[in-house]
């Protein structure tokens, strides 16, 4: 536990981040009333697909700071912080935070959160040690169920059945728990028909008893649960892959773990002989695994390029672009940027800009520029990518000026939802690069109408802008995240994006604001 620079520190203010690791500062809540934090911190979205938002959330939850001033409404901020980190699947963060809390062994709520994290991490030994100590204290039915499972794990099936009988006498209805416990007792294996609302204990029990997880388990899973499902051998491979992609997108699973899972999938000889057509017909996680496997076994650049390009294009259409870029980037970096691979340049350049890899981007932009003199299509692709490069502060976008926005509009106005698309891009450009000229904005007035979109309340905006203006970092980050919501920058409208980014910049989070802008631009299809 770090306590330097703090006058007083109670358990709610415990944290683990140092300044070098992105701490928001020991006084991040100075000027923010405690009742406000207690009301809104629990509402933070845990299941976000934005790396920039996840980074800000993590820093907010792990920063050691003096607790906000004011009367408590009975909400434990440390419990809420641990709960959110666990839901995010940040096992390292939640473990470090719990271990930094003095006297946690006397806090049943913290012990339960820690035990759930242990079960999700397949650390049954430590989870069971805690369950044994708590059941002796006469704690609630959760501990009795956990201890009953632990007895079954230890081969004490008779004792486990007695505990299960006691649960039934207590009126505890948990059909999933009962079914899996029956499996431990030697009952004939039967699949779980449904598991829409799994608990960490359910998942740990199913894995230990080798009970196959049903497909609907993905319906309401948090990133932490998705991570565990992705590495559970008792889940169908398509369920594991879907869970792995979603967990990686949310930052709960390392990209390398997703690559390894892709490589572990078995495919038929027919699939491997026709990977591109197979992937096009059945776009999804299995298709990306097939394309990754194909790219990895090829040694000729052109043969590697085809599955990479197909995977990136399909992922962009299917809303899984970010994990696809991270997975395929090492393969892409091995493919030389040459004129005979001009067809790969659009996807390669876009992926490099998204990944922030200036060297790879430079090579593919050079290919496009060389071809643009004689090839109309190449010139069009180059024109469509330059604005993204400008927004990403890449040298490849240096030639683009605000006056070129009028020409850019001409290249995109025929696409579906062109005006909404342009409104967001113009808003990002106006805020992050330079003012958009009135004549460019005027183009979007044609046929303009009021479009109802879900936006945050006026009160939230007022609080966010006041926090940013007065440099209250904790509050600024909290309300910026709430304003973006679970949909993040990919689903935000121009109004929401602009106000959030302005607030973040004013509050001293310029780097984070630009990262969110890039995510929004790529999600737009730039």
Q: What is the pLDDT of residue 368?
A: 92
List, as own/partner pairs, every contact residues 81-85 make where C-beta atoms lie below 8 angstroms and the sequence separation is at least 24, other chains included: 81/41, 82/110, 82/113, 82/114, 83/42, 83/113, 84/41, 84/42, 84/44, 84/46, 84/57, 85/58, 85/61
129 — pLDDT class (breaks 50, 70, 90): very high
- Summarised one tens digit per residue, pLDDT across range 241-275 is 999 999 998 889 999 999 999 999 998 888 888 88
- Summarised one tens digit per residue, pLDDT across range 177-201 is 888 888 888 777 677 888 888 899 9
Query: Looking at residues 376-391, what average pLDDT do you find?
Result: 83
Q: What is the pLDDT of residue 7?
A: 40
Q: What is the pLDDT of residue 10?
A: 64
Sign of CA dihedral 46, 499, 51, 286: positive
Q: What is the pLDDT of residue 367?
A: 92
- Summarised one tens digit per residue, pLDDT across range 497-522 is 889 999 999 999 999 998 898 888 87
6 — pLDDT class (breaks 50, 70, 90): very low
- Summarised one tens digit per residue, pLDDT across range 138-158 is 668 889 899 999 998 988 888
Query: Looking at residues 72-101, what average pLDDT do you find?
Result: 90
What are the φ/ψ torsions at residue 228 (nearest 5 degrees)?
-65, -40
Torsion of Cα atoms, 72 then 22 then 431 then 50, to 10°: -80
Contacts of 175 (CB under 8 A, 6+ apart): none
Query: Looking at residues 480-488, what average pLDDT do you find?
Result: 91
Tokens of 218: 């993905």
Q: Lowest mean pLDDT: which of 78-87, 162-171, 329-338?
A: 162-171
Contacts of 330 (CB under 8 A, 6+ apart): none
Q: What is the pLDDT of residue 400?
A: 82
Question: Within a 10 A sphere around the Cβ of 4, how many other Cβ atoms?
Answer: 8
Question: Do 426 and 395 form a contact (C-beta atoms < 8 A)?
Answer: no
Q: Lowest mean pLDDT: which of 66-75, 460-469, 475-484, 513-522?
A: 513-522
Sign of CA dihedral 106, 58, 481, 69: positive
> Longest Cα pair distance anywhere in the chain, in angstroms?
81
């Amino acid at each position: 536990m770090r306590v330097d620079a703090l006058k007083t520190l109670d358990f709610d203010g415990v944290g683990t981040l140092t300044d070098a690791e992105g701490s928001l500062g020991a006084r991040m809540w100075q000027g923010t009333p405690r009742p406000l934090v207690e009301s809104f911190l629990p509402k933070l979205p845990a299941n976000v697909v934005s790396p920039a938002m996840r980074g800000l959330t993590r820093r907010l939850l792990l920063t050691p700071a003096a607790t906000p001033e004011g009367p408590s409404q009975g909400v434990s901020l440390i419990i809420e912080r641990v709960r959110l980190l666990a839901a995010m699947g940040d096992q390292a963060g939640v473990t470090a935070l719990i271990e930094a809390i003095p006297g946690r062994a006397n806090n049943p709520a913290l012990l339960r959160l820690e035990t759930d994290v242990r079960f999700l991490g397949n650390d049954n030994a430590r989870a069971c040690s805690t369950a044994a100590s708590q059941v002796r204290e006469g704690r609630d039915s959760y501990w009795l169920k956990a201890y009953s499972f632990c007895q079954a794990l230890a081969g004490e099936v008779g004792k486990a059945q007695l505990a299960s009988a006691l649960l039934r006498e207590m009126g505890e209805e948990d059909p999933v728990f009962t079914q899996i416990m029956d499996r431990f007792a030697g009952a004939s294996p039967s699949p779980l028909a449904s598991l829409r609302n799994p608990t960490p204990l359910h998942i740990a029990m199913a894995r230990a008893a080798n009970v196959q997880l049903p497909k609907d388990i993905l319906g309401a899973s948090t990133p932490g649960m998705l991570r565990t499902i992705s590495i559970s051998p008792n889940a169908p491979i398509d369920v594991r892959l879907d869970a792995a992609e979603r967990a990686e997108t949310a930052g709960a699973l390392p990209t390398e773990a997703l690559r390894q899972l892709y490589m572990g999938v078995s495919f038929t000889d027919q699939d491997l002989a026709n990977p591109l057509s197979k992937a096009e017909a059945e776009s999804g996680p299995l298709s990306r695994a097939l394309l990754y496997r194909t790219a990895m076994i090829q040694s000729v650049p052109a043969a590697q390029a085809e599955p990479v390009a197909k995977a990136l294009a399909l992922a962009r259409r299917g809303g899984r672009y970010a994990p696809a870029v991270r997975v395929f980037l090492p393969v892409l970096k091995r493919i030389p940027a040459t004129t005979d691979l001009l067809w790969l340049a659009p996807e390669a350049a876009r992926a490099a800009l998204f990944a922030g890899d200036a060297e790879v981007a430079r090579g593919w932009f050079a290919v496009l520029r060389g071809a643009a003199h004689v090839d109309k299509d190449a010139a069009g692709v180059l024109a469509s990518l330059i604005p993204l490069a400008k927004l990403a502060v890449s040298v490849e976008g240096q030639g683009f000026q605000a006056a070129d926005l009028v020409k850019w509009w001409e290249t995109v106005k025929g696409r579906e939802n062109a005006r909404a698309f342009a409104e967001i891009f113009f808003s990002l450009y106006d805020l992050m690069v330079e003012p958009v000229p009135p004549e460019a904005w005027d183009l979007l007035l044609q046929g303009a109408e009021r479009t109802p979109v879900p936006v945050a309340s006026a009160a939230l905006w007022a609080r966010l802008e006041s926090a940013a203006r007065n440099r209250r970092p904790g509050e600024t980050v909290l309300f910026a995240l709430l304003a973006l919501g679970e949909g993040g920058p990919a689903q935000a409208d121009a109004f929401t994006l602009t106000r959030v980014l302005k607030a973040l910049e004013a509050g001293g989070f310029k780097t984070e604001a630009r990262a969110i802008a890039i995510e929004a631009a790529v999600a737009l299809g730039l």
